[in-house]
Each structure stands twice: as structure tokens, then as C-alpha cells.
Amino acid sequence: MSEYKTCKHCSQTFSLDNFYRHGTNKDGLMNVCRACHNKRCRIIEKNNPERRKAYRDKYYKADPAKYRAISKRYREANPEKVRAVFKKWRESSPDIDRLRHHKRRAHKEAVLSFKVTLKEIALIRTKPCFYCGSTEKVCIDHVVPLSRGGNNSIGNYLPACLRCNSSKKDKTIMEWKKVRGW
């Protein structure tokens, strides 16, 4: 048996280790090289994102521990790539990242976390600061701080300018007003 095979797609000859296995072919290998197969899969994935997501979800649900381990190995082997991709995502999706941060913080502090939509967050951020009335750099303040047992819910959010929110930190409104001398 030859140690080389010609790809049916690109017509180039490669060693056998450049072909994926395929049980029904005589030689047990696919007729297209790995590069051509991967290229074709990426095109199909791009044109059918829902189908690909369903396919991935099916196999993930069958053995989630396996896929978490694969993901972990990749992250450990490529920390710079992962950091760069995550940084790019955070910069392109600041509101979603903020929600992710609040959820993570609430989870670490074991407080209740409720589903809050981006629409609700955007609505809060369009209002002026609850404390001083400023409309610049409005962010979300937890009325009852997470560290004091507050939760991540729409009822515990207030619009606050960055200055007021940063000075309030983990104080309740009454404690903060005393410090400010109001």
C-alpha cells in the first residue's frame, strides 16, 4: 500500500497522515485532505449557524465533562489567544460584559441573581443619576450592595453617575449620605 494519497478536491498528493479516517472507504481514509475538509466545514458552518449550533449542543449535552476538559486544555495551552479574544469581546459588548461581571460577583458572594434583560439595563442607563441628577457616565448602582446581601435584580438597580457610584462603594444609601454630610 502506498504511503501517499491524492486529494480529490485540490488534486495535491499528501502523506496518509494528512487525511482523516473514514470507515467506509477501502483504505479507511477520506478522499479529501484535512485542509480541504476543514475549509469545507468552515464554509458550511458559516452558512448554517443554527444547524451547527444544534449539532454541537447535541454532543455537548451527551458528555459535557468531555467538552469542558477540551476547552480547559485549549485555554491552558493558548492563554494569550484566549485573553485577546476575550478582550475583543468585552470591548465590543460592554453591556453584556457588565451583566456577566455582576452575575459572577453575585455568584461568588452567593446572592440571588435574577434575569435582567439588556433592554432593562439600557433603560436604566438612559436616566439621570438618582443621587445628583448628572447625565454623564451613568452606570448601575446596587441599592443594597451585593456584599451586604443585595441581589442582582431590577428592583435593586438604580442609575448612578460614575462619581456617585464610586464614592458609595459598598455602603447603604443612609450610610453614604452620612459620609457625604447630606
- The CATH number for 148's domain is 3.30.40.220
Is the residue at 23 inside a domain? yes
Contact predicate 159/124, CB 8 Å: yes
Are 52 and 99 in a shared domain?
no
Q: Is the pLDDT of residue 1 over 60?
A: no
Are 52 and 118 in a shared domain?
no
Question: For the segment 35-64, what is each residue's pLDDT rounded down to a tens digit?
Answer: 999 999 899 889 998 998 898 889 888 999
| Closest alpha carbon to 114 in 65, 168, 54, 156 | 156
Is the residue at 24 inside a domain? yes
Phi, psi of 52 (to 5 degrees): -65, -40
Are 103 and 48 in a shared domain?
no
Is the residue at 78 inside a domain? no
User: Domain range holding 36?
Assistant: 4-59
Instruction: Give me the number of domains the chain comprises.
Output: 2
Is the residue at 89 inside a domain? no
pLDDT of 111: 65
Is the residue at 49 inside a domain? yes
Are 110 and 173 in a shared domain?
yes
Is the residue at 84 inside a domain? no
Per-residue pLDDT band at 180 (split at 50, 70, 90): confident
